Amino acid sequence: MGLLTRLRTRLGARSADRARPAAGIGPHFTPAMVEVWKELEEQVDGELKKSGSSVVSAWEVGAAELGRALRGVADDRALVERYSDALVPALQPFQDLHKGIGTAMQHGLREGLATHTLAAATAPLATLLVGLDERAAAGWEKTAAHLAPLFARCARPEEARVRFLAGARELRQACADADLVWRARLAALPEAPGLWEGVTGAAEAWQLAVTRALELAIDRQVKALAAAVAEGRAIV
């Protein structure tokens, strides 16, 4: 689909949304919704990707803090690089969300047209985030294992390691809470003024919920780690 056609589709969808009554679009999935549905994949995917960006941003704050704590240490560069590499397993579950959106949207379109219901169309989307909480927690635990050389530099290595591992529970809860937001907004889609507004609104609500919680949790953990490293250096 060309750029102009896509723009017309979006503008037309939004105009149609504004023309509908405040009562909402109702429970039915109609052939008229197909083109709007196809355009939604890009929008939802964009919101999913923001979760990974928030993880990276929070981690980079820790890199700056850690760099200051290690300034002048002989192997400071190697330790900061170790810290940077440790992000990979914690980030992976959020990057992997991108892989599932296309299939979920296509499956939803087929089911929506077959049953003529929004509930069937959005069912694959509603389950898209299932297990993200556990994958995020497991990824954080792998990240902690990769940070062993940094824990060794702390004043109380085991205490620092255990405290950092507690971040797994925080990430699990952040994802679980945001999933409830996602499901609730999709379930309320029949009350939305339009298909475009309803689905994009659900995706944005999830993104805001999860990124805020992730950023706060990761920020606490990485700053505590940097402080523990600095304390360990001070007593050497």
Domain segments of the chain: what residues?
A: 27-234
> Residues 36-75: pLDDT tens digits?
999 999 999 999 999 999 999 999 999 999 989 888 888 8
3-state secondary structure 89-144: HHHHHHHCHHHHHHHHHHHHHHHHHHHCEHHHHHHHHHCCCCCHHHHHHHHHHHHH
One-letter amino acid for residue 174 of the chain: A
DSSP annotation of 55 reads H
pLDDT digits (tens, 9 = 90+) for 3-33: 444 545 554 555 544 444 457 999 999 999 9
Over residues 156-167, the mean pLDDT reads 97
- What confidence category does residue 95 fall into, taking pLDDT thresholds of 50, 70 and 90? very high
Q: What is the mean pLDDT of residues 165-175?
A: 97
Q: In the predicted model, is pLDDT for residue 234 greater than 90?
A: no
Nearest residue to 129 (alpha-carbon basis) of 174, 84, 163: 174
Give 143-181 as a DSSP string: HHHHTHHHHTTSSSHHHHHHHHHTHHHHHHHHHHHHHHH
Residue tagged 């402080």 (tokens): 227
The helix (H) or strand (E) run that includes residue 208 is helix 195-234
Q: Taking the C-alpha atoms of 26, 28, 33 and 34 in order, what is their torsion angle to the nearest 10 degrees?
A: 150
- Which tokens sit at 74? 């002989």
Read off the DSSP letter of residue 194: -
Could you write out the DSSP letters of every residue in 14-50?
A: HHHHHHS-TT-S-SB--GGGHHHHHHHHHHHHHHHHH
Task: Say which DSSP state 193 is in.
Answer: S
pTM of the entire structure? 0.87
